[in-house]
Amino acid sequence: MLFLGLPANLVHMPTEEQVYEALTNVIDPELGLDFVELGLVYGVAVEEAKIEVTFTLTTPACPIGPQVSEQMKEFVGELEGVDEVTTTMVFTPPWTPELMSEDAKFALGY
C-alpha cells in the first residue's frame, strides 16, 4: 500500500528513540536493570524498515547472549514499520560500569 507515494512501512518508520525505548524491555536477569540503562546497547541503526542493534554483555563469559538477542528482536520487531531486526553482539570496546546511566549507577551503588 502506498501513502503519499511511499510504501506504508516507510511512512511509519521507527525513530532511533523508539527503538531504544523498545530495548528498555530487555532486562539483565542478574542485575534487574534494562540493557539501555546498563550501557550495554552500543548502537542502533534504522535503515528504512530494517533495524540493526549492536550490543554487548557485562562479560564475555555471560551465557545469556542468545536470549538477549531474541528478546531484542521481539521487542523491536513489534514497532510499527519494522520488517527486519538484526543484532550483533560485540566485546570491543569492553563494557565497564562507567557506561551505565547515572540512575543505574545509583541503583547498583556505584
When pLDDT is cut at 50, 70 and 90, the band that residue 12 belongs to is: confident
Length of the chain: 110
Domain boundaries, given as residue ranges, for the chain: 2-99
The grid coordinates listed for 56 are 554487548
Burial class, 11, CB count within 10 angstroms (exposed 0-12 / middle 13-18 / buried 19+): middle
CA angle 57, 35, 89 (to 5 degrees): 40
Q: What percent of the chain is modeled with pLDDT above 90?
A: 87
pLDDT at 5 over 60: no
Quote the radius of gyration of the chain (alpha carbons, Å): 15
pLDDT value of position 43: 98
Q: Give pTM, 2 decimals.
A: 0.87
How far apart CA 19 and CA 55 sit, in angstroms, is: 13
CATH 3.30.300.130 fits 2-99, yes or no: yes
